[in-house]
Amino acid sequence: MLVLGIESSCDETGAAVVRSDGTVLSDVVQSQVDLHARYGGVVPELASRDHARNIDPVVREALARANVGLDDLDGIAVTNRPGLVGALLVGVQFAKGIAWSRGLPLVGVDHLVGHLLAVFLRRPADEDAPRPEFPFVALLASGGHTSIYQVDGPTADACRELGGTRDDAAGEAFDKVAKLLGLGYPGGPVIDRLAAIGDASRFPQKAPMASVRSLEFSFSGIKSRMARHVADHGRPKDEAEIAALCASFQRAVTDVLAKKLVQAAEMNGVSRVVLGGGVAANRELRERVKTLANARGIDSFVPPLASCTDNAAMIAYAGAARLGRGDRDGWDLTATSQTSLLRLTRKGRGAR
Ligand code: ATP
Ligand code: MG
Ligand code: FE
């Protein structure tokens, strides 16, 4: 089965052609990072307009690179949640247009399910890498979400949240700390780069909620401590100091993420862990997860960078799983800001 995936939930316009076995025939991502950089975050109205401008050329490019026409497709998958509603609607309406005009089946995909399944994509560079079997425990750490899920199958109804952040998402913390240090937006890649040359022991940070035997996270405290440091000492000018601050921040955050992921797998008797979401591109996190999992006899599966950050290939793959079991959405498919995945409530009961 050949599926066209369309992604426009935030600040990346994406289109990809993917086979249901995960083979990526094309994956086009048009980032809006430069557009939003001067505001230090995503401006929703600008995002929607840019998606509207770019979606047609991005889809054409994805079809051209895959060397397929619309008539070769077996279905269309589009991110319809969670995200900025105005941005999502651009993709959803465009997908409906194509599906209607060619009589193709259409499915909406939860962006978070896309991130959780991105590990199954087969790109030319990692075609032979091992893929996990179900069930696995996955850490989804991105700009808007940070949670641990047990994933029993390739659809939203088979994903269960085991724990998540009480406040900021990990990626949001990276972005805010980078802003504080005057490093620009998005913060993750810059901090990653500087941390590699910084001395993490110069300003040691405690990993947030590391000692609690729960699977919850909190990243607002560490961000406030970084802000206080900058307020007390002024914005650091020398590169060694900036790098040291980045290194200590990154050490604390990646340490708690990796530990709780492995802990979650052990608590649930699952022997495989998986990474997903933009923060999974972080080199220290990737290393840490491999090392910790290895030490506990747990298999770890870490997707290549292009599969971690936002892309439409993961949406096409998740859509193929839905289409494969006969799911179809109608012309009334809507966009919503909320995920369809079960969320933990304070009492531990699931809620949508
Ligand atoms: P969501 O998926 O929750 O809707 P999003 O789509 O904006 O949010 P992604 O594109 O998956 O999120 O991830 C973007 C986030 O990943 C940003 O916060 C960015 O700073 C972070 N990020 C990207 N690369 C790295 C890295 N190397 N280290 C740490 N964080 C990173
Ligand atoms: Mg993004
Ligand atoms: Fe994302």
For every one of its 352 residues, what pLDDT tens digit does the chain have, with 9 covering 90 and above?
A: 999 999 999 999 999 999 999 999 999 999 998 999 888 788 999 999 999 999 999 999 999 999 999 999 999 999 999 999 999 999 999 999 999 999 999 999 999 999 999 999 999 989 899 999 999 999 999 999 999 999 999 999 999 999 999 999 999 999 999 999 999 888 999 999 999 999 999 999 988 888 778 999 999 999 999 999 999 999 898 999 999 999 999 999 999 999 999 999 999 999 999 999 999 999 999 999 999 999 999 999 999 999 999 999 999 999 999 999 999 999 999 999 999 997 765 555 455 4
Residue 202 Cα to ligand 3 middle (Å): 32
- Phi and psi at 292, nearest 5°, equal -65, -45
Q: Which residues are annotated as a binding site?
A: 111, 115, 140-144, 175, 188, 192, 282, 310
CA 280 to ligand 1 center in whole angstroms: 8
Per-residue pLDDT, 256: 97
Ligand nearest to the CA of 169: 1
Enter the pTM of the model: 0.95
> How much is the pLDDT for 342?
78
Q: How many angstroms is it from 115 CA to the middle of ligand 3?
A: 7
Report the pocket of ligand 1 as residue ranges, CB < 6 Å: 9-10, 83, 111, 115, 142-145, 171, 174-175, 186-189, 192, 277-279, 281-282, 309-310
Separation between Cα atoms, residue 317 and residue 323, nearest integer Å: 10
Report which bound ligand comes closest to the CA of 33.
2
Nearest CA to ligand 1 atom 20: 188
Atom in ligand 1 nearest the alpha carbon of residue 112: 2
What is d(CA 246, CA 254) in angstroms, rounded to the nearest whole number? 12
CB atoms within 10 A of CB 128: 6
CB atoms within 10 A of CB 292: 18
Measured N-to-C along each axis, helices 187-195 and 170-180 cross at an angle, to the nearest 10 degrees, of 70
| Structure confidence at residue 208 (pLDDT) | 82
Binding-site members for substrate are: 140-144, 175, 188, 192, 282
Does residue 82 have a cis peptide bond before it, meaning omega lies within 30 degrees of 0? yes
ipTM of the complex: 0.97
Q: Which residues of 44-61 are buried (b: 16+ CB within 10 A; e: fewer)?
A: beebbbbbbebbeebbee
